[in-house]
Structure 1
Protein backbone atom coordinates (compact mmCIF):
# COMPACT_ATOMS: atom_id res chain seq x y z
CA UNK A 1 0.00 0.00 0.00
CA UNK A 2 1.49 3.33 -1.09
CA UNK A 3 1.10 6.10 1.47
CA UNK A 4 0.57 9.69 0.31
CA UNK A 5 3.56 11.92 1.01
CA UNK A 6 3.28 14.47 3.82
CA UNK A 7 4.57 17.29 1.63
CA UNK A 8 4.49 17.12 -2.13
CA UNK A 9 5.36 19.46 -4.99
CA UNK A 10 5.04 17.61 -8.28
CA UNK A 11 7.09 18.72 -11.29
CA UNK A 12 6.49 17.31 -14.76
CA UNK A 13 9.57 16.52 -16.87
CA UNK A 14 7.82 18.05 -19.88
CA UNK A 15 8.08 21.46 -18.19
CA UNK A 16 11.85 21.35 -18.88
CA UNK A 17 11.28 21.63 -22.64
CA UNK A 18 11.58 25.41 -22.35
CA UNK A 19 14.75 25.21 -20.24
CA UNK A 20 15.69 25.34 -16.56
CA UNK A 21 13.02 26.16 -13.98
CA UNK A 22 13.58 27.94 -10.65
CA UNK A 23 11.09 27.43 -7.82
CA UNK A 24 10.72 28.45 -4.21
CA UNK A 25 9.05 25.87 -1.99
CA UNK A 26 7.69 26.72 1.46
CA UNK A 27 5.94 24.30 3.80
CA UNK A 28 2.82 25.60 5.55
CA UNK A 29 2.21 25.15 9.28
CA UNK A 30 0.11 21.98 8.99
CA UNK A 31 2.75 20.38 6.77
CA UNK A 32 5.57 21.38 9.12
CA UNK A 33 3.67 19.88 12.07
CA UNK A 34 3.19 16.57 10.24
CA UNK A 35 6.82 16.54 9.07
CA UNK A 36 8.07 17.22 12.62
CA UNK A 37 6.09 14.23 13.87
CA UNK A 38 7.41 12.09 11.01
CA UNK A 39 11.04 13.11 11.62
CA UNK A 40 10.85 12.84 15.43
CA UNK A 41 11.29 16.56 16.03
CA UNK A 42 9.50 18.75 18.56
CA UNK A 43 8.62 21.35 15.94
CA UNK A 44 9.66 22.68 12.53
CA UNK A 45 9.26 26.46 12.69
CA UNK A 46 10.12 27.10 9.04
CA UNK A 47 11.09 25.09 5.97
CA UNK A 48 11.92 26.64 2.62
CA UNK A 49 13.89 25.61 -0.42
CA UNK A 50 15.13 27.38 -3.52
CA UNK A 51 15.14 24.68 -6.19
CA UNK A 52 16.54 24.71 -9.72
CA UNK A 53 15.52 21.95 -12.11
CA UNK A 54 17.36 21.69 -15.41
CA UNK A 55 17.78 19.14 -18.16
CA UNK A 56 20.65 16.70 -17.63
CA UNK A 57 21.53 14.03 -20.21
CA UNK A 58 18.16 12.35 -20.90
CA UNK A 59 16.83 13.22 -17.43
CA UNK A 60 16.98 16.11 -14.98
CA UNK A 61 19.25 17.63 -12.39
CA UNK A 62 17.87 19.17 -9.21
CA UNK A 63 20.01 21.74 -7.46
CA UNK A 64 19.57 24.46 -4.90
CA UNK A 65 19.47 24.91 -1.14
CA UNK A 66 17.05 24.33 1.69
CA UNK A 67 16.80 25.94 5.11
CA UNK A 68 14.77 24.97 8.16
CA UNK A 69 14.49 26.13 11.73
CA UNK A 70 13.76 23.19 14.02
CA UNK A 71 12.98 23.08 17.71
CA UNK A 72 14.94 20.34 19.45
CA UNK A 73 15.70 19.10 22.93
CA UNK A 74 19.32 18.93 24.02
CA UNK A 75 20.41 15.38 24.69
CA UNK A 76 22.66 16.65 27.49
CA UNK A 77 20.74 19.31 29.42
CA UNK A 78 17.22 18.55 28.10
CA UNK A 79 16.78 22.26 27.32
CA UNK A 80 14.64 23.21 24.32
CA UNK A 81 16.39 25.27 21.65
CA UNK A 82 16.03 26.34 18.01
CA UNK A 83 18.56 25.15 15.48
CA UNK A 84 18.96 26.24 11.87
CA UNK A 85 19.47 23.30 9.52
CA UNK A 86 20.52 24.03 5.96
CA UNK A 87 22.21 22.34 3.10
CA UNK A 88 22.49 21.85 -0.64
CA UNK A 89 20.07 19.95 -2.84
CA UNK A 90 21.88 17.84 -5.41
CA UNK A 91 20.03 15.08 -7.24
CA UNK A 92 20.36 13.68 -10.75
CA UNK A 93 17.58 11.63 -12.30
CA UNK A 94 17.31 9.56 -15.46
CA UNK A 95 14.26 7.72 -16.77
CA UNK A 96 13.89 3.97 -16.36
CA UNK A 97 15.62 2.18 -19.22
CA UNK A 98 18.03 5.05 -19.85
CA UNK A 99 21.49 4.17 -21.17
CA UNK A 100 22.79 6.62 -18.53
CA UNK A 101 21.25 4.68 -15.64
CA UNK A 102 23.63 2.79 -13.37
CA UNK A 103 23.87 -0.90 -14.20
CA UNK A 104 22.59 -2.90 -11.19
CA UNK A 105 24.89 -5.81 -12.16
CA UNK A 106 28.05 -3.70 -11.87
CA UNK A 107 29.52 -3.08 -8.44
CA UNK A 108 30.05 0.63 -7.88
CA UNK A 109 33.16 1.94 -6.26
CA UNK A 110 32.28 4.50 -3.62
CA UNK A 111 34.16 7.76 -3.85
CA UNK A 112 33.04 10.34 -1.26
CA UNK A 113 34.17 13.19 -3.52
CA UNK A 114 32.38 11.94 -6.63
CA UNK A 115 28.78 12.87 -7.34
CA UNK A 116 26.14 10.26 -6.51
CA UNK A 117 25.00 8.07 -9.40
CA UNK A 118 21.72 9.18 -10.95
CA UNK A 119 18.46 7.95 -9.48
CA UNK A 120 15.94 6.15 -11.66
CA UNK A 121 12.79 8.17 -12.28
CA UNK A 122 9.61 6.12 -12.50
CA UNK A 123 7.25 8.01 -14.79
CA UNK A 124 7.59 11.63 -15.83
CA UNK A 125 6.89 13.39 -12.51
CA UNK A 126 9.44 14.47 -9.89
CA UNK A 127 8.30 15.18 -6.33
CA UNK A 128 10.62 18.06 -5.45
CA UNK A 129 9.35 18.43 -1.87
CA UNK A 130 10.18 14.78 -1.16
CA UNK A 131 13.82 15.48 -2.04
CA UNK A 132 13.83 18.52 0.27
CA UNK A 133 12.52 16.38 3.16
CA UNK A 134 15.07 13.65 2.38
CA UNK A 135 17.95 16.14 2.45
CA UNK A 136 16.62 17.73 5.67
CA UNK A 137 16.46 14.32 7.36
CA UNK A 138 20.09 13.63 6.42
CA UNK A 139 21.29 16.96 7.84
CA UNK A 140 19.52 16.62 11.22
CA UNK A 141 21.79 16.00 14.20
CA UNK A 142 20.71 12.69 15.77
CA UNK A 143 22.16 13.85 19.12
CA UNK A 144 21.25 17.55 19.35
CA UNK A 145 22.83 19.79 21.93
CA UNK A 146 22.96 23.50 22.62
CA UNK A 147 25.78 25.37 20.88
CA UNK A 148 28.91 25.09 23.04
CA UNK A 149 27.41 22.38 25.25
CA UNK A 150 29.67 19.38 25.85
CA UNK A 151 29.14 16.02 27.44
CA UNK A 152 31.51 15.63 30.36
CA UNK A 153 31.17 12.10 31.69
CA UNK A 154 32.96 11.14 34.86
CA UNK A 155 32.77 7.56 36.03
CA UNK A 156 31.57 7.11 39.60
CA UNK A 157 34.33 6.64 42.15
CA UNK A 158 32.51 3.95 44.08
CA UNK A 159 34.87 1.88 46.23
CA UNK A 160 32.00 -0.21 47.58
CA UNK A 161 32.10 -2.47 44.54
CA UNK A 162 33.10 -6.12 45.17
CA UNK A 163 35.47 -5.76 42.20
CA UNK A 164 37.32 -2.79 43.70
CA UNK A 165 39.81 -5.07 45.41
Structure 2
Protein backbone atom coordinates (compact mmCIF):
# COMPACT_ATOMS: atom_id res chain seq x y z
CA UNK A 1 0.00 0.00 0.00
CA UNK A 2 1.27 3.43 -0.94
CA UNK A 3 1.41 5.88 1.96
CA UNK A 4 0.20 9.27 0.63
CA UNK A 5 1.70 11.16 3.59
CA UNK A 6 5.10 9.67 2.76
CA UNK A 7 4.64 10.60 -0.90
CA UNK A 8 3.92 14.21 0.07
CA UNK A 9 6.95 14.30 2.37
CA UNK A 10 9.14 12.87 -0.40
CA UNK A 11 7.65 15.39 -2.82
CA UNK A 12 8.69 18.29 -0.57
CA UNK A 13 12.24 16.92 -0.43
CA UNK A 14 12.54 16.10 -4.14
CA UNK A 15 10.95 19.32 -5.42
CA UNK A 16 10.54 22.00 -2.74
CA UNK A 17 7.55 24.01 -4.00
CA UNK A 18 9.00 27.43 -3.12
CA UNK A 19 12.35 26.89 -4.83
CA UNK A 20 11.91 24.29 -7.57
CA UNK A 21 11.29 25.32 -11.13
CA UNK A 22 7.71 25.08 -12.38
CA UNK A 23 8.31 22.07 -14.64
CA UNK A 24 10.28 20.17 -11.99
CA UNK A 25 7.66 20.74 -9.30
CA UNK A 26 4.59 20.00 -11.43
CA UNK A 27 6.17 16.88 -12.93
CA UNK A 28 7.04 15.64 -9.43
CA UNK A 29 3.47 16.35 -8.28
CA UNK A 30 2.08 14.50 -11.30
CA UNK A 31 4.28 11.49 -10.57
CA UNK A 32 3.28 11.42 -6.89
CA UNK A 33 -0.42 11.64 -7.80
CA UNK A 34 0.00 8.78 -10.29
CA UNK A 35 1.22 6.67 -7.36
CA UNK A 36 -1.60 7.83 -5.07
CA UNK A 37 -4.46 7.85 -5.74
CA UNK A 38 -3.75 7.32 -9.44
CA UNK A 39 -5.06 9.06 -12.54
CA UNK A 40 -5.37 8.84 -16.29
CA UNK A 41 -5.54 12.63 -16.62
CA UNK A 42 -4.27 15.27 -14.23
CA UNK A 43 -4.61 19.01 -14.67
CA UNK A 44 -4.01 22.06 -12.53
CA UNK A 45 -6.33 25.03 -12.95
CA UNK A 46 -5.54 28.49 -11.61
CA UNK A 47 -8.27 31.05 -11.08
CA UNK A 48 -7.81 34.18 -13.18
CA UNK A 49 -10.21 36.58 -11.48
CA UNK A 50 -9.49 39.36 -14.00
CA UNK A 51 -10.86 37.15 -16.78
CA UNK A 52 -13.43 35.35 -14.61
CA UNK A 53 -12.09 31.95 -15.63
CA UNK A 54 -10.04 28.94 -14.64
CA UNK A 55 -6.95 28.58 -16.76
CA UNK A 56 -5.19 25.25 -17.28
CA UNK A 57 -1.60 25.74 -16.21
CA UNK A 58 -0.53 22.07 -16.14
CA UNK A 59 -1.70 18.98 -17.99
CA UNK A 60 -0.51 15.39 -17.96
CA UNK A 61 -2.02 15.06 -21.46
CA UNK A 62 -1.09 18.28 -23.27
CA UNK A 63 -2.06 16.87 -26.67
CA UNK A 64 -5.70 16.61 -25.51
CA UNK A 65 -5.72 19.25 -22.76
CA UNK A 66 -3.05 21.85 -23.54
CA UNK A 67 -1.91 24.45 -21.06
CA UNK A 68 -3.57 27.79 -21.63
CA UNK A 69 -7.02 26.31 -22.12
CA UNK A 70 -9.62 28.08 -20.01
CA UNK A 71 -13.06 27.45 -18.57
CA UNK A 72 -15.38 30.25 -17.47
CA UNK A 73 -16.22 30.55 -13.79
CA UNK A 74 -19.93 29.73 -13.52
CA UNK A 75 -21.24 30.84 -10.09
CA UNK A 76 -24.26 28.51 -10.31
CA UNK A 77 -22.16 25.40 -11.03
CA UNK A 78 -21.48 22.69 -8.47
CA UNK A 79 -17.75 23.15 -9.10
CA UNK A 80 -17.95 26.86 -8.23
CA UNK A 81 -20.17 26.33 -5.18
CA UNK A 82 -18.33 23.32 -3.72
CA UNK A 83 -14.71 23.72 -4.79
CA UNK A 84 -14.19 27.46 -5.22
CA UNK A 85 -16.54 28.95 -2.64
CA UNK A 86 -16.82 26.02 -0.24
CA UNK A 87 -13.19 24.92 -0.40
CA UNK A 88 -14.32 21.29 -0.49
CA UNK A 89 -13.19 18.56 -2.83
CA UNK A 90 -15.85 17.13 -5.11
CA UNK A 91 -16.06 13.66 -6.60
CA UNK A 92 -17.91 12.81 -9.80
CA UNK A 93 -18.01 9.03 -9.22
CA UNK A 94 -19.23 7.76 -12.56
CA UNK A 95 -19.86 8.42 -16.24
CA UNK A 96 -23.23 10.10 -15.68
CA UNK A 97 -21.89 12.47 -13.02
CA UNK A 98 -18.99 13.41 -15.31
CA UNK A 99 -21.35 13.90 -18.25
CA UNK A 100 -23.43 16.35 -16.16
CA UNK A 101 -20.38 18.17 -14.77
CA UNK A 102 -18.15 18.58 -17.81
CA UNK A 103 -19.20 20.07 -21.16
CA UNK A 104 -16.15 18.40 -22.72
CA UNK A 105 -17.22 14.95 -21.52
CA UNK A 106 -16.82 13.30 -24.96
CA UNK A 107 -13.10 14.14 -24.92
CA UNK A 108 -12.81 13.00 -21.30
CA UNK A 109 -14.51 9.70 -22.18
CA UNK A 110 -12.20 9.21 -25.17
CA UNK A 111 -9.30 9.15 -22.70
CA UNK A 112 -10.97 6.33 -20.75
CA UNK A 113 -12.02 8.58 -17.88
CA UNK A 114 -15.38 8.10 -16.15
CA UNK A 115 -14.62 9.39 -12.65
CA UNK A 116 -13.17 12.69 -11.44
CA UNK A 117 -12.11 14.49 -8.31
CA UNK A 118 -11.61 18.25 -8.10
CA UNK A 119 -9.47 19.30 -5.14
CA UNK A 120 -9.36 22.97 -4.15
CA UNK A 121 -5.97 24.62 -3.86
CA UNK A 122 -6.30 27.24 -1.14
CA UNK A 123 -4.18 30.03 0.23
CA UNK A 124 -5.15 32.44 2.99
CA UNK A 125 -8.64 30.94 3.26
CA UNK A 126 -9.44 31.42 -0.45
CA UNK A 127 -9.45 28.98 -3.34
CA UNK A 128 -6.82 29.94 -5.91
CA UNK A 129 -7.08 26.90 -8.17
CA UNK A 130 -7.73 23.18 -8.26
CA UNK A 131 -6.09 19.83 -8.79
CA UNK A 132 -8.24 17.78 -11.16
CA UNK A 133 -7.75 14.04 -11.44
CA UNK A 134 -9.70 11.75 -13.74
CA UNK A 135 -9.68 7.96 -13.94
CA UNK A 136 -11.83 4.91 -14.67
CA UNK A 137 -15.34 4.83 -13.21
CA UNK A 138 -15.60 4.45 -9.45
CA UNK A 139 -11.89 5.04 -8.85
CA UNK A 140 -12.08 7.91 -6.34
CA UNK A 141 -13.79 7.69 -2.95
CA UNK A 142 -14.25 10.05 0.02
CA UNK A 143 -11.44 8.39 2.03
CA UNK A 144 -8.96 9.71 -0.54
CA UNK A 145 -9.90 13.35 0.06
CA UNK A 146 -7.86 14.12 3.21
CA UNK A 147 -4.60 12.88 1.63
CA UNK A 148 -5.44 14.75 -1.58
CA UNK A 149 -5.73 17.97 0.44
CA UNK A 150 -2.07 17.45 1.46
CA UNK A 151 -1.11 17.45 -2.22
CA UNK A 152 -3.21 20.61 -2.68
CA UNK A 153 -1.25 22.28 0.13
CA UNK A 154 1.94 21.52 -1.78
CA UNK A 155 0.40 22.94 -4.95
CA UNK A 156 -0.65 26.16 -3.19
CA UNK A 157 3.00 27.22 -2.92
CA UNK A 158 3.33 26.69 -6.68
CA UNK A 159 0.18 28.60 -7.59
CA UNK A 160 1.08 31.71 -5.60
CA UNK A 161 4.11 31.98 -7.85
CA UNK A 162 1.83 31.81 -10.92
CA UNK A 163 0.39 35.12 -12.17
CA UNK A 164 -3.23 33.98 -11.66
CA UNK A 165 -2.79 32.42 -8.23
CA UNK A 166 -2.96 35.45 -5.95
CA UNK A 167 -5.65 37.73 -7.35
CA UNK A 168 -8.96 38.06 -5.58
Give TM-score scaled by structure 1 length: 0.26
Which entry has the higher C-alpha Rg, 1 or 2?
1
Hey, which of these two has a bigger chunk of strand by percent? Answer: 1
Hey, which of these two has a bigger chunk of helix by percent? Answer: 2
Give TM-score scaled by structure 2 length: 0.26
